[in-house]
Structure formats: C-alpha cells, structure tokens
Amino acid sequence: MIENQSDNIDIKENDVSNQDDSPDNNSSAEDKIVENDELSPQKTEEINTEELKNTISNNDARLEQLEKEHETLKNQYVRISADFDNFRKRQSRDQDDLKVQLVSKTLTAILPIVDNFERARQQLKPESEEAQSLHRSYQGLYKQLVEVLKQQGVAPMRVVGQQFDPNLHEAVLREPSEEFEEDFIIEELQRGYHLEGKVLRHALVKVSMGPGKQNSQEEVEKDTVEEDIDSGENTSEDV
C-alpha cells in the first residue's frame, strides 16, 4: 500500500511538472507564430517589389522595342511617300512631254501649209476687183490659221540681224556682207517657230561671212591663177 501511494505521489508530481512546463512550450509556439506573422508581410512586400521591378523592366524593354519599330516604320513611310511623290511628278512630266510631242508633230505637219500661204501672199499682186476680193478671202483664211497657231503656243522666230545660233538656226548659205558682221544672219530662207519656248522648227538662214571676205577670196583666186601662169611660162622656157 505504501509503495502504491508513493507511486501515485510520483505520478502527481510528474503531472504537476508537466503542467508547469506546458505554458512555456505554448508561449514559444505562439512566439513563433507571431514572428511568422510579422515576417510574412515583409516577405510579401519584397516579393511584390521584385515583381514590380521586373514588370517595369519588361515594360521599358517593350517600349524601347516599340519605339524602334515605330522609327523603322516612320522611315519606311517617309521613303515610300518620297518615292510616290517622285513617281507622280515623273508621270506628270512624262505626260506633259508626250502632249508636247503630239502637238509638235501635228503642228510641224501644218507649218508647210503656212509657208505656202506666205509664198502665195508675196507672189500674188491682185489688180482687178475680182482678184482683190479673192486676195482678201485668202488673207482671211491665212489670219485664221495664224490665230489657231498662236492659241496653241506657236510663235515665229525673228532672225534677220541676229547672231547665228545652231540651237535655233540652220545655215544654208554663207556669203560676204558689208552690212552685217561675221556669223550674223543676213536673210531668212524659211521661217522658224517656237512652241512654248522650245524649238518647233529651226529657221533656214543665210549667214554673213563679214566684210572684205569676197575681195580677199578673189585675190587668192587671182594669185593662184598668176602662179599657174608663171609656172607654165617657166616650163616652156625650160623646154
């Protein structure tokens, strides 16, 4: 009995000691929970901050890439726009040139008719009333034709007394002249025409060789003849 009682007393003491130790264990567990609760928001904030930095870095990289793509597309647009503008101007210029070529071809075919009208006007000298009436009708037709040419931008050249220009004139004859200096136009043989500032037909002209050219040429020919005569005489004497 005594032994059982002592065992019971030991068991009770162990229980008491266990009860005394349990509050400490509970408090340490609670402290750990509190520490974990305090560390959790900090870690969460750090994680969120890191994710935010990564997101910002990715957005910056993406923005830089988009800016480069935008600059590339802008340069392409500028080049395409410039190429199209040049193409449009070239097409417009080509159309204008083609129009001028067609008009020039048509008007060039009409110019010989104008030349014939002018020749007839110079040759005709009406004397009778009927001839004068016919001449007036002819003059009316000629004026209408000239007016049509003017409306198309055709203008005649005025060449007599002008210096010879191979871009405008075509020299058919050259002769000495006391009135005009060398390379100046003496006479117009066929009228030339402009079309919108460009040459539609070159003028056929007679160009001056300058004064004294004829005398000098005659002297050269005379000297040549005299030399031939002298050479002939010398030959006969030798024989």
Strand arrangement of the beta sheet that strand 154-156 belongs to = 154-156, 193-195, 198-201
Q: Report the domain count for the chain.
A: 2
Distance, in Å, from the CA atom of 75 to the CA atom of 53, rounded to the nearest integer, reads 33
Q: What is the pLDDT of residue 208?
A: 92
In a domain, 214, yes or no: yes
Q: What pLDDT is attached to residue 190? A: 92
Return the pLDDT at 198: 87
Residue 180 neighbours by CB distance under 10 Å: 20
From 117, 152, 187, the end of a domain falls on 152
Residues 208 and 172 in one domain: yes
The answer to whether residues 108 and 173 belong to one domain is no
- How far apart CA 114 and CA 105 sit, in angstroms, is 15
180 is a domain residue:
yes
On whether residue 58 sits in a domain, the answer given is: no
148 within some domain = yes
Rounded-to-integer distance, Cα 137 and Cα 124, Å: 13
Q: Answer whether 0.75 is exceeded by the pTM.
A: no
Residue 182 CB partners (closer than 8 Å, separation 6+): 208, 209, 210, 213
Are residues 108 and 165 located together in one domain of the fold?
no
Q: Do residues 143 and 179 share a domain?
A: no
Q: Where are the alpha helices (DSSP H) in the chain?
A: 2-123, 129-151, 213-238
pLDDT per residue rounded down to tens, the chain (239 residues): 444 444 544 544 445 444 444 444 444 545 544 445 554 666 676 677 778 778 888 888 888 889 889 999 999 999 999 999 999 999 988 888 888 788 888 888 889 988 888 888 777 777 777 777 877 888 888 888 889 889 988 999 999 999 999 999 999 999 998 888 899 999 999 999 998 888 999 999 999 998 864 444 444 454 554 555 455 444 444 43
CATH of the domain at 205: 2.30.22.10
* 161 and 182 belong to one structural domain: yes
Shared domain check, 110 and 90: yes
Closest by CA to 164, choosing from 177, 146, 150, is: 177
Position 1 scores a pLDDT of 46
Residues 196, 140 share a domain: no
CB of 120 closer than 8 Å to CB of 145: no
Q: Indicate whether 106 belongs to any domain.
A: yes
User: Are 145 and 184 in a shared domain?
Assistant: no
* Residue 82 sits in the same domain as residue 144: yes
Query: 1 in a domain, yes or no?
Result: no
Q: Which domain holds residue 85?
A: 77-126+134-152
- Is 6 domain-assigned? no
* Pair (120, 186) in one structural domain: no
Structure tokens at 4: 């059982």
> Same structural domain for residues 159 and 148?
no
CB 198 within 8 Å of CB 172: no
Q: Let me know if residue 105 belongs to a domain.
A: yes
**Residue 104 φ then ψ, to 5°:** -60, -45
